[in-house]
Amino acid sequence: MKNYLRNIQHTQSGNFFLMAGPCAIEGEEIALRIAERITEITDRLQIPYIFKGSYRKANRSKGSSFTGIGDEKALKILEKVGKTFGVPTVTDIHEQQEAAMAAAYVDVLQIPAFLCRQTDLLVAAAETGKVVNVKKGQFLSAGSMKFAVEKIKDAGNDHVILTDRGNTFGYQDLIVDYRGLPEMQGFGVPVVMDCTHSLQQPNQSSGVTGGKPELIGTIAKAAIAVGADGLFIETHPDPANAKSDGANMLHLNRLEELLEKLIRIRQAIQ
């Protein structure tokens, strides 16, 4: 896995890499269905692929919101996806003690944006030896993410990814500052653009986060044009009925066409 990520910017095709999947693990059948389709697409397009799925959703507006199907059950599904399709997997962790538990099943540990300054969490993730993907906090500058990288490397782990997911813009919107991508690349790590969460509209009065999924392509195309190493896209065959963050997800049927366009942009700037 470490070699895989070390070479993700240097594939034969010269493509960006993709972290994609459902927001949350809802069940085995749908996880395998999504992974199979994305694997088919990325294999054909020669895009290095990492399957994404949260085994548990800890950051929810309402107490009644879906949080998961059970930690061990969801983690075993992630493990099965990885073994079935031969792809790396990534999931987010929320507390220090979760790092070792999740690391037993997945290849990449993701630090949620709201937790990117939590030193104990970053160190625990680093000490597993797994690749650590840190989401940039909506409240932080790109430059301040160098400290997250330093914490992980100081703990003995050089395998770090940084992911931008937009900046807080008022109380109920986010905006992407693309200057941050090359700035974070200056820290010597791969940088990813989260094309779905950056379109969230948080803090809605309903207690359910909104979004602007019609602009996913816009965010993705701009990120590739700027030179992002990878993209993060949450996708689902039925976003309207997804159990988590359906308002931000790309319909699975639209993924292939979007990736084809992005490859052409990547080729044009190389």
The 10s digit of each residue's pLDDT in 116-142 is: 999 999 999 999 999 999 999 999 999
- Please list the ranges in the chain whose pLDDT falls under 70: 1-13, 59-65, 67, 202-211
Residue 180, both tokens: 């941050």
**CA distance linking residue 259 with residue 266, whole number of Å:** 10
What is the structure's pLDDT at 205? Answer: 46
Please state the pTM of the whole predicted model: 0.91
Distances, alpha carbon 177 to alpha carbons 49, 117, 128, 142, 165, in Å? 25, 20, 32, 9, 10
**Domain coordinates in residue numbering, the chain:** 2-269
Q: Please name which of 112, 14, 117 lies closest in space to residue 59, comparing C-alpha atoms.
A: 112
**CA distance linking residue 56 with residue 235, whole number of Å:** 17
Q: Which H or E run includes 222?
A: helix 216-226
**CA distance linking residue 54 with residue 229, whole number of Å:** 22
Write out pLDDT tens, residues 44-66. 999 999 999 999 987 655 565 67
What is the structure's pLDDT at 11? Answer: 46
What is the structure's pLDDT at 60? Answer: 53
What pairing do the DSSP bridges indicate for beta strands 200-201 and 210-211? antiparallel
Architecture of domain 2-269: Alpha-Beta Barrel (3.20)
Write out pLDDT tens, residues 202-221. 655 454 555 677 899 999 99
Residue 176 has, within 13 A of its CA and on its CB side, a CA count of 23
Q: Please name which of 268, 88, 225 lies closest in space to residue 161, comparing C-alpha atoms.
A: 88
Residue 142, both tokens: 């790109």
What is the structure's pLDDT at 203? Answer: 52
What is the structure's pLDDT at 210? Answer: 58
